[in-house]
Structure formats: C-alpha cells, structure tokens
Amino acid sequence: MPPKRKTLVVEVLDSLRAQITSGQYKPGDRLPSEARLTEEYGVSRTVVREAVAALRADGLVDPQRGAGVFVIEPAPAAVAPFSDVDTDRLSSMIELLELRAAIEVEAAALAAQRRSPAQEEKIIGALRAVNDGAEDSGINHEADFNLHMAIAEATNNPRFVEVLRMLGAQMIPRHGLTSNGGAVSADYLALLKQEHERIVNAVLDGDETAARAAMRQHLKGSQTRYRRLLRG
C-alpha cells in the first residue's frame, strides 16, 4: 500500500471507529454508503473499502452483500486465564487443586529425572524458606509457591513454569485446619512440612515414582481437606 493511501485509510478508519465507539453509530445501524463515504472523506472507493475491512477485522461491523455495512455488538473482552478465581471460595480452590494435580504430579517426576545440581540447591533453599516461615508465622504462601515453582523449573520444560506462573501464589490454599484461636494448627503445619519434605527428598533422590506419588498425595490430601471444609 503506498504511504499516502495508507495514511488515508488510517484517517477514515480512525474516524469511523470513533463514531462507532462513541455511540454515534449504534449496533444495528447502517453506515453511510460507500459512495457517500468517498464523498464525505474525499477519498477513493478503495480507501473506504480497506477502512471497512479493518473495522470488520476489529469485530465492529458486518458488511452484508446488497444491504450495506452494519454496526454490530462488540464481542465481550476475553477474560484472562484464572483472573476470575475466588480464593475465598472453597469450590474454586478445589478446582485449582484438581488442575495442579494434573500438572504437578508429572512435574515432580520429570524434576526427579532432569534436575541439575543448581536446581537441587534452589529446591532445598525453597524448602527451608517454607519451613522457616511456618515456624515464624504459620503458612508462608509465597514461600510455598516458590517451592512448587522451583520443582517446576527443575523439569527443564518451561511450559510447566508458565502454567504455574499464570496461576500465581493464589494456587496455594489459604484455608487450613485451624485451632480454636483461628491460627493454622500445629498439626496442619507438621503435616504440610512432612508432605513437602517427602516430595523434595524423592526429587533429590532421583526417584520419579516416589516423587510422583508424594506430589499426588500432597495435592490429593489438600483436595480432601477442602472437601471436608466445604461440607462444613
């Protein structure tokens, strides 16, 4: 497209788009005819056609043969993955735990096969941070997330990391087994520590079967605890 014509197309396109988005032309309205638009903007029919084609690509108009070009209702904006997760809803957390089981069980097995010494060191450091945080103030959700991320990184398959990063720290359950004071119970913290250590030891030992089983037990156990909470 020659530079001058490209500029004219953009000018017509921007003008029509502004009129549509401002409500001057509403869904169901027909745009002026091609001849009318060429006269209004002082451009060729080719320029008008290209501008209309761009509006169609944007999902703003629907050209109908023999009838004209009609403004249509814009499609709803795409919802970002996992942006509608409500961590205060037990059912939402069960959904996340089921998804995590499908991903992280295999990630633990792959990490046991493929980890490097540097990745082992990172996993050990992440486990220590989880345990230290539990001793200081109960569950440290960020440290817990970092441990699972370190295991995912040790798969040396970046897709596992990408999925967990999309989920973010919200994937770590925030409802625990609580004591009368409302704090996370010591028994619950001890159980989480045991489960995490079992996963890490299996990965570091290179035992993919044990790593898979330990991660499955950890995530299935969390599902079971949440289902009990859901039932009251």
User: What was the pLDDT predicted at 232?
Assistant: 66
d(CA 151, CA 156): 9
> Where do we find the tokens 């953009």?
10
Tens digits of per-residue pLDDT, 67-122?
A: 999 999 887 766 677 777 777 788 888 888 999 999 999 999 999 999 999 999 99
SS (H, E, C) 116-171: CHHHHHHHHHHHHHHHHHHHHHCCCHHHHHHHHHHHHHCCCCHHHHHHHHHHHHHH
pLDDT range class, residue 46, cuts 50, 70, 90: very high
Task: Name residue 184's beta-bridge partners.
Answer: 178
Residue closest to 115 by CA, chosen among 217, 199, 220: 199
d(CA 52, CA 31): 10
d(CA 140, CA 143): 5
pTM of the model: 0.64
